């Protein structure tokens, strides 16, 4: 299990995410998607709920948009997409409860297409390099992550 998921300490969900990432990197996207669907069925039992506040670990940050909205304070998380001067790009950003802000940008078609899957009840996770480029953008849409509260 990677350090980020071990730091989260979220048991089965962390293992599922790690398995998805490994499958996508080692076996290819097609197998990764199939593995993700199978893994999602493992923890989609009735009543399972979750959702993280914004959490930072190294160059990895994640949080449930619904949980952040329902929480109090200054936490934020999301991705915005732009088309300006003939170029498309996205900015993903997040701020923890402690006020630590992180962001990254992406302009490749794969990451931009993935960001289109993000909605206001998603869990978003992203990583970045030293230049501020988004490396991984992971979006989880599942009944596990509850709807946003006012």
Q: Which residue has the tokens 């909205």?
A: 69
| Cβ-contact 73, 95 below 8 angstroms | no
Residue 124 burial (10 A CB sphere; 0-12, 13-18, 19+): buried
- Prediction pTM value: 0.66
Please report the pLDDT score of residue 147 as a whole number.
63
Domain coordinates in residue numbering, the chain: 1-47, 49-150
Q: How confident is the model at residue 33 (pLDDT cuts 50, 70, 90)?
A: very low
Q: Residue 111: is its pLDDT beyond 80? A: yes
Please report the pLDDT score of residue 110 as a whole number.
94
Please report the pLDDT score of residue 150 as a whole number.
53
């Amino acid at each position: 299990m990677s350090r980020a998921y071990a730091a989260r300490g979220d048991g089965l969900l962390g293992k599922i995410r790690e398995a998805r990432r490994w499958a996508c990197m080692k076996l290819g996207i097609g197998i990764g998607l199939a593995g993700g669907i199978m893994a999602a069925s493992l923890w989609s039992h009735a009543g399972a709920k979750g959702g993280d506040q914004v959490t930072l670990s190294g160059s990895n940050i994640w949080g449930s948009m619904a949980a952040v909205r329902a929480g109090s304070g200054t936490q934020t998380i999301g991705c915005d997409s732009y088309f300006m001067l003939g170029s498309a790009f996205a900015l993903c950003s997040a701020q923890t409860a402690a006020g630590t802000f992180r962001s990254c940008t992406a302009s490749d078609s794969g990451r931009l297409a993935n960001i289109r899957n993000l909605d206001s009840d998603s869990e978003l996770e992203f990583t970045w390099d030293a230049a501020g480029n988004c490396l991984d953008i992971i979006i989880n849409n599942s009944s596990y992550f509850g709807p946003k509260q006012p």
